[in-house]
Structures are given as C-alpha cells and as structure tokens.
Structure 1
Amino acid sequence: MLSLAFIVLSLGTALPLAAATGLPDVLHRDVVVIGGGASGAYAAVRLRDDFNKSIALIEKRDRLGGMVNTYVDEKTGATYDYGVQSFLNVSKAAEFFARFNISIGSGSTSPSLITEYIDFNTGKKVDFTPPSSSKQLAAIAKFLKVIEPWESMLSPGYWNFPQTNNIPEDFLIPFGEFLTKYGLEDGAPLIYSTTGLGVGNMSEVATMFALQSFGWDMARGMTGKMGLFSPTSGGNQALYNAIAKNLGDDVLYSSTVIDSRRTEFGVSLAVRNHKTNKVTRIIARRLLVAIEPTEVNMKPLDLSPSEWNTLSKFTYSNEFTGLVDNAVFNTSYYYFNLPSTAAPNHYLVFQDEPMVASFQYTGLEHLFRVMIIGNTTSTADEAKVLAQNSFNTLLKSGRLSKSIRDQKLSWAAFSMHGPMHARVSVDQVKCGFFQDLYKLQGARSTWWTGGAFSANFQTQLWQFDDGLIPKILEGL
C-alpha cells in the first residue's frame, strides 16, 4: 500500500500543473506502463488479465504496436506489413494470438522478386554473386551450433551476462572477424539482408550486438527449427488492434510523461495528452518503462545520477521504413544497396550508415518498401531526403524503367523505428556495464523492458516480459 506521505507528496507535485491546465484527473494503479509497443502492450495485458492487477498504459501514438506497421490498400483492402514482417514462434507466442481469436499462418505472401545489387552512392550495378541458398542455409545451421552455448548469456535478456573476467572473447570481436574465424562467411548475406542490417555495417559491430540483431531464434527460424508466422488476415497490426480493444480505457493514447517522482514506495507521473493538452496524474505502486532509455525519452523521468550515468552510455541505430510510389520503378524488382567492393563475392562488405538499404516491390501496384538505416542522430526528415537522393541516383544512372528527370517519391506510408539496437563500447562491456544496467531493475519501484534490456524481436520481448513480470509482482 502506498504510504500517506507519498500520496500527499505526489499530489503536491501536480499543483503547478493544475494552476496551468485545471485540476488533473488522478488515477491510482498497481502498475503504470510507459510505451505501447511489443513489450509494453504485452506486459499490460498479462498484468491486468492474467494477474488481476490494475494498470495504465501510456502511449505517445494513437495506436499500439510500435514497430508493427500495416498498410491497407483503400481500393482492394489488401494489406502489406512494411514494418515487422513476421513473428518468431518463441515460447507461447502463438497462444497469445489465440487468446484474441486471431488465426495465424506460416505461408509468405511476398511476391517472387528479381534482386539487383546496386551501389546507391554511384548508381552502378554491383556484379555480386551470393552463395547458393543451400550454402547460405548450411552456414546458418553451423552458425547456430557455434553460438548455442552462449544463448543464456544474452537471451532473452542479460540476467546471466558473465562477469567481466568470464566474458567470451568472441563476444567482443567485430562480427565480420567472428564469421571468418568460424568459416561462416556464406551465411553473411542472409544474416545481413534479413535483420542484421539494422546495426549498419554489421561486419564492424561487436559480435554480441550483432547476435542481438540476428541470433539464436532467427537462425532457428531460417533453418526450419522454429516456426515463423503472421495473422492470416488484417496484417500484423490486427493483434495490437485486438489488444487495444481489450485494454479499452486503460490506455492513454497520444500521451507522454511530463513529470515524475519515483521512490521505494511507489511512483507518481504527470501525463499530458498532446492533442487535448489534458494532464492526468497517475499514482502507482510500480512503474514499467517499455521505451528505449534515450536522453529524450528519459528527460521527464527523475533519473538518479547512477541511472543517468548508466543509461547515457547507450548508442543506437535509427531505422526508418515506408512505402513509396513511383511508376518508374521496375515492378518485381528488389534493389539492394551494396558497395562496389562487394563484387564479385566479398560477403562481408557492406555500406556504412546512414544509408538506404533497399527498395523492394510489394506486389501492390507501384508501391515499393524502402528500408533506411540511420545513425544515432538521424531524423525522419533526413531519412526521407536520403531516400530521395538514392532514388535520384538510380534514376540518373538508368537503373529504373525510365530515365525521367526531377521525379519525386510519393510516400504512401512512413514510420520511424528507433532509436533501436542499443549498444555500448567494448571497453564499457568489459567494465561491467550490463551488471550496472541490471542493477536498475526494481530500484525506485521501477522496472525496465524493451530492446535495450533484451532484443528487438516482438516475441522475444514477450518472453523477456514473462520472466520480468514475477519480479514486478513481488510484494504487490
């Protein structure tokens, strides 16, 4: 139970806000969750429906689902998932869909495409020949055997991360060096083109962070040892629409935290709806932070010096994805960005970020999915400019169906995925960063989930939540 002193203190902090906006609503909850993406939405459902705890879920957008992005064609009703493509059948993931009566299937609806490798910096075709599919899959199977002994150290979180003197040496070497060391180069094109590209030039990233972008479950999925699935109708957004309907008024949409007080007795948050400007004061016994702990995201939270000193060490990638419409693209094509030095078969050579990774035909009229990988500071506007510049280069070099000047990309959809792929330097890992990071769990009535504490895969985040929730519930 919250102490009377804490409640009085919490309400007292709302008085300046009340003077400016009128007396705010006050909600009392067992757990307040910040962030309605994969980890936050899943945790909210489980805490409320499976453990009978009162919750409030704060989401800055007007929908749940985070990196899930489903485009619906207005003419035909056809859907295309331009964000999350599918779900790994981790643990009880399929059962979570079943509880919302959402049917799932394993079949892919993506059209067969012609891959053309092009250096987007010059527009020149790259005469790159990847390994055969059988060689790539054999390399992924071998890759899985090499990394399996380390799984509990990194997945689904860092609870068992080794002490500094026991960290495997392979964790800290560049991923390209790791693949070469174990003769896994044939697997690099598949690792990169699926999810590895999220960290940018994955050959240069420390292996342990590359494993968070393509690790155990992805390898199992690629080799048939774990299922991949998606809803049979409505796209991947269908799940989060069902969650939204289930949670109802327990979700505060278009809202962000503007002020907080966190103590060992509980937390008090001031939350503003940026559409109505309405302020709500939430007093809760526990806080679950389900957003990336960036400087911007953490500014409204009253971080202690030790919290800030730890969280500020993270660097991130910024990913952007969207759908662009222009008839000069060749339909049935997948334009993939590689440097000219990748030719003819240098499998560990990739572009540096920021860069456009690809333009990929969706099967819907003239729509192409574009993937843009940014660095820590890349913005949405910069990503769109980069996409336009890459398109201009392809157009001028004659790589598209027509050489027409001054063509503009028309954006049918756009989404920012990031910051994500949180990582720190090798020296910081050696100095006990992850031990310090996990010391934050539970301190000041606050728990942490999401990609910085686990991995950037929907169902792996759910698995991490399943292990975290019993800890949150202790003493409630």
Structure 2
Amino acid sequence: MLFKPWQLAAVISSAAIATSASSPIEQDFAPEDIISRDVCILGGGGSGTYAAIRLKDSNHSVVVVERNDYLGGHAETFYLDDEKQFINYGVEGVFNDDLSKEYLERLGVSWDSLALSTLIDKYVDFNTGKEVLPPSDLLTTVVGAALYRLAIQKYTTLDQGVYNLPDPVPEELLEPFSKFVEEHALQGVLRLVLMFAQNVGNILDAPLLYIIQNFGVPHINALLEGGYITPKNGIAELYDSAAKVLGNDVLFQTTAIETNRSDSGVSILVENHADGSRKLIKAKKLLITFPPLLESLKGFDLDTKETGLFEKWNWMSYHVAIVNNTGIPSGITVGNADPNNGPASLPHTPFQWELEYLGVPGYLASKIIANSSVTGDDAKNLVISDIKRMGAVGTFDVPADGPNIVQFGSHSPETLIVSTDNIRNGFYKNLYSLQGRHSTFYTGLTFCTDYSSVLWAYTNTVIEKMFS
C-alpha cells in the first residue's frame, strides 16, 4: 500500500506502540506492511461493507479484512453469459426505506421495485418426489401477515430486529413456536413464516424468540407497506460499487490470524490466502462482523467472558444453489411440502425450502437448510437427489443427464442460537455488554436479524457507540 510522507510517519509511529515481544504479532514489519487506521473491520459482508462506507464518509480511516475475493457476503448474483440476465440467489433485495435508498444513492446504484413473490405453483413432497395437494387452510399473504403481526406486536422491544429482551425474559418467547401457533390459531400463516424464517430449520420446534427475530414486525411492515427494492443490475452491483469506493482499503482473500487488544487500541496480524503474505494492522477500534464462533476466532486474545459466551452457540448450515436442466417447466416455483407433517406440511431438516423461479427461463434457485454437520457436498447431493426423485416418479420430465448445479454458495454458519436456559439467564444482555470491550465492537447476524436493511440500521447504532 502506498503512503504519502505524512501518512508514513504516522504508520511508523503507530507501529512503535509497545506490546508483548513474545507474541509473533510483534515481529518486525517493513513500513509498507504496517497499516494504521481508526477502525479495522473484519468481514466485508453486508454489515462490514456498510460500516466501512459509513465510517469513511464520516472521515474515519478504515481497513476491511475480507476472506473472499469480493464484498457482499450473502449478496450473490449469477450473471448469464451475456450479463443481460441475472439471478440474485442470495439476498434478493432490501427494504424500500430511507436508509436503504440513501445507501444505494451514495454508491451510485439505481434500483427497481422488487415484487416479492409468495406464490408457489406446485407442491411436491421432496421425500418421495410426488406432487401433493397444497396445505389446507392457507391464508393469503396480506391476511396471514396481518394476523401474525397482531399476535407478536406486544413484543415491542424486538421491533428493531435486536435481541433487546425484557428481564425476566417472558417464558412465552422461550416456548416452541408450535405452542404459540396453537394459542393464536396461526396454522394458516406457517408457510409464510417459513418463507422468511426457513433458516431456523424446523420452525415449529424453535423458540418463539428466534421466529420473531427472523420474521418480526420490521419484516412484516416491509412486506405489507414499504415494499422492497433491488439494484437494477443485480445485488452484486451494490458491492462492486462499494469496492470501488473503498479501493485499497479492502484486503481481499485475507483473514486475521492473531490479535492483541486493549482499551487503548488493537493490533491485528492478517494473512493473505493466495500468497501467504502478512501485514500488521494497528487500529483504534476493531469491528467484528462475522459470527463469533470459537473456531473462527483462533489466534484471538479472547478473555474468559468472551470465551464463555461464544462457546455456547449452536448454528444451522445454509447453502444456496442455482440449478438448470431440471425438466421443471419454465416459470414454475416448486414448494417442498411433507403431508405427514401437519399443520402446513412443513419439511423437516435437512431440506430444500423450494425450487424458486426468479425470472430467468430454465433456471431455479434453491436454499438448503440443515444442521451444522451438513457439508456443501451433502447439500449438493440433496439438491440433485430430490430433483432426480421427482423425475423417477414422473412428477417432472427430468433429463437423464440432469439436473445441473450451475452456481453454489455457503452461508454457513447461519442462525446462531443458544439454549433457552442460556437466554433465560441473561445470555443476550451479556453478549451486548461486549460492545466496546478491549476496543472491540460487533455487528452482523449474530447481534441482529439477518436482513440487510435492519442490519444496516443496527450497524449505525454500533458506529455511534464506537465514537460516543
């Protein structure tokens, strides 16, 4: 990285900050391999990229450490050969609110309205491959969403998508969602809830808290009132634009391998995957945006409070795919329905949520949800075997050489959860108390619902706390 003379002097001065000589993070670095910034951001997904742009626009210097060779994380776009057609197979769009529109405008990205389709054209039991009848008692989207919002609206502290829990935590939030469904006669809403909260897995078994966090008041308001928007040239356009704005302030294909943190600043040793080169980052603040699992934090100087919290996580695996050569007629979305699992014929993990038509003839998108032990290869095999099963029983005319997975991605780890005992005993209060500890802050799906617009709003609050 090139520095002007005054910048270089600041870097050398920053590098001279004394730390433990016994740690490999304190090896000698050439000046060009030392990066001095106000904030180091670990993770260039939706939250990390947004934070970097916000901080840069507020005259704070930043560096983003991103393991991939692109920004955006779950915001993936598959462009066909001529690039005139594309499929957003991760994030499809964002809320049509002021924050989202201002962000897109800041990055010079124009947008279209996004009509979020809740229509399923055919229901198939993916376990047998046979077409089945639509689940009974399904309510329309508008009626179902309104009924569901009425049932959950008393939990106003969750309206921002953050785990802002009363003390004590209401027991209803810790009970299985199935009990809440029965008490509020929400059977006709279950397929709609699955559409937004499929990443939870078996939604009827999950605590109500995690259902609301993935499909709560902000999501319902967007669905019924504000609507959605999406970049005209694919969701990846937003992050390509952000990468241009950030320029050399992003270290791609790089991860943090060791940290030394204190109340006066942080040192982060990072390594490039491609060539093995290392750099030393010296920053006033550290912002972690990826899920803080212990296996993702090897080399970090965690204290006992941090370790005691991070070791409690359970999580889901979540994979996305685009398939063609399926034999499924163009324009058809196929929903996964298990008629032996009432109400609403919900699928059991591991499952494909649906084979979703997103506007490009011949291509369908899939999202695969399973427990944490399911690998990417397992997920691919599930996609292929489910569709072949449909062909074997004659539901669709699947070609002998099909289907083909033309694009695949992992969003794991997804849906980090803890036991109800941990929630009851103040886990989330203790988690949020980590903000600012050892000059370290957090944002991302672990601390807020995994929807871009809500995450950006939460990230704003973290930035405010960072410099308050």
- Report SS of the residue matched to 2:411: strand
Cα shift at 1:408: 4.3
Q: Deviations over 1:426-446 (max 9, x none)?
A: 111111111111121111110
Aligned residue for 2:5? Answer: none
Aligned residue for 1:26? Answer: 34
Question: Aligned ranges for residues 308-347 of structure 1 at < 5 Å?
Answer: 308-342=307-341, 346-347=342-343
Distance 1:115 1:362 in 2: 13
Question: Aligned ranges for residues 4-403 of structure 1 at < 5 Å?
Answer: 7-9=17-19, 13-14=23-24, 25-49=33-57, 51-75=58-82, 77-90=84-97, 92-108=99-115, 115-131=121-137, 134=140, 136-153=141-158, 155-158=160-163, 160-163=164-167, 165=168, 167-192=169-194, 194-223=195-224, 225-231=225-231, 233-342=232-341, 346-402=342-398
- TM-score, L = length of structure 1: 0.90
Amino acid at match of 2:154: P
Q: CA separation of 1:92/1:71 partners in 2, compared to 1, >3 Å: closer, same or farther?
A: same
Distance 2:161 2:390 in 1: 40
Distance 2:20 2:53 in 1: 26
Unaligned runs of 5+ in 1: none
Q: Is the 8 A contact 1:354 1:374 kept in 2?
A: yes
Q: Is the 8 A contact 2:75 2:236 kept in 1?
A: yes
Q: Deviations over 1:254-298 (max 9, x none)?
A: 110111111112111111110121111101111000001123212
In the TM superposition, structure 1's runs of 4+ consecutive aligned residues that sit over 3 Å from their partners are 1-6, 10-19, 107-110, 129-134, 346-349
Q: CA separation of 1:107/1:265 partners in 2, compared to 1, >3 Å: closer, same or farther?
A: closer
Q: How many equivalent pairs are there?
A: 458
- Report SS of the residue matched to 1:149: coil
- Report SS of the residue matched to 1:452: coil
Q: Is the 8 A contact 1:325 1:367 kept in 2?
A: yes
Distance 2:339 2:286 in 1: 49
Cα shift at 1:187: 1.4
Distance 2:152 2:37 in 1: 42
Q: Is the 8 A contact 1:174 1:207 kept in 2?
A: yes
Cα shift at 1:17: 6.2
Q: CA separation of 1:185/1:90 partners in 2, compared to 1, >3 Å: closer, same or farther?
A: farther
Amino acid at match of 2:109: I
Distance 1:109 1:458 in 2: 15
Q: Deviations over 1:314-373 (max 9, x none)?
A: 11112111111215232222222121225xxx4444222122222223332421111111
Distance 1:57 1:155 in 2: 26
Cα shift at 1:307: 0.5
Unaligned runs of 5+ in 2: 1-9
- TM-score, L = length of structure 2: 0.91
Q: CA separation of 1:109/1:358 partners in 2, compared to 1, >3 Å: closer, same or farther?
A: closer
Q: Is the 8 A contact 2:62 2:249 kept in 1?
A: yes
Q: Is the 8 A contact 1:90 1:463 kept in 2?
A: no
Q: Deviations over 1:412-432 (max 9, x none)?
A: 211111211111111111111
Cα shift at 1:237: 1.2
Cα shift at 1:466: 1.0
- Report SS of the residue matched to 1:219: helix
Q: CA separation of 1:176/1:226 partners in 2, compared to 1, >3 Å: closer, same or farther?
A: farther
Cα shift at 1:114: 5.9
Q: Deviations over 1:224-270 (max 9, x none)?
A: x2221112x21111111111111111010111011111111211111
Q: CA separation of 1:113/1:460 partners in 2, compared to 1, >3 Å: closer, same or farther?
A: closer
Distance 2:344 2:422 in 1: 26
Q: Is the 8 A contact 1:65 1:240 kept in 2?
A: yes
Aligned residue for 1:420? Answer: 414
RMSD of aligned alpha carbons:
2.5
- Report SS of the residue matched to 1:204: coil
Cα shift at 1:15: 6.3
Q: Is the 8 A contact 2:178 2:204 kept in 1?
A: yes
User: Percent of aligned positions with the same letter in both sequences?
Assistant: 29
Q: CA separation of 1:198/1:227 partners in 2, compared to 1, >3 Å: closer, same or farther?
A: same
Amino acid at match of 2:293: T
Q: CA separation of 1:133/1:104 partners in 2, compared to 1, >3 Å: closer, same or farther?
A: farther
Q: CA separation of 1:24/1:87 partners in 2, compared to 1, >3 Å: closer, same or farther?
A: same
Q: Deviations over 1:213-234 (max 9, x none)?
A: 11112111222x2221112x21
Q: Is the 8 A contact 1:37 1:66 kept in 2?
A: yes
Cα shift at 1:82: 0.9
Distance 1:272 1:441 in 2: 26
Aligned residue for 1:444? Answer: 438
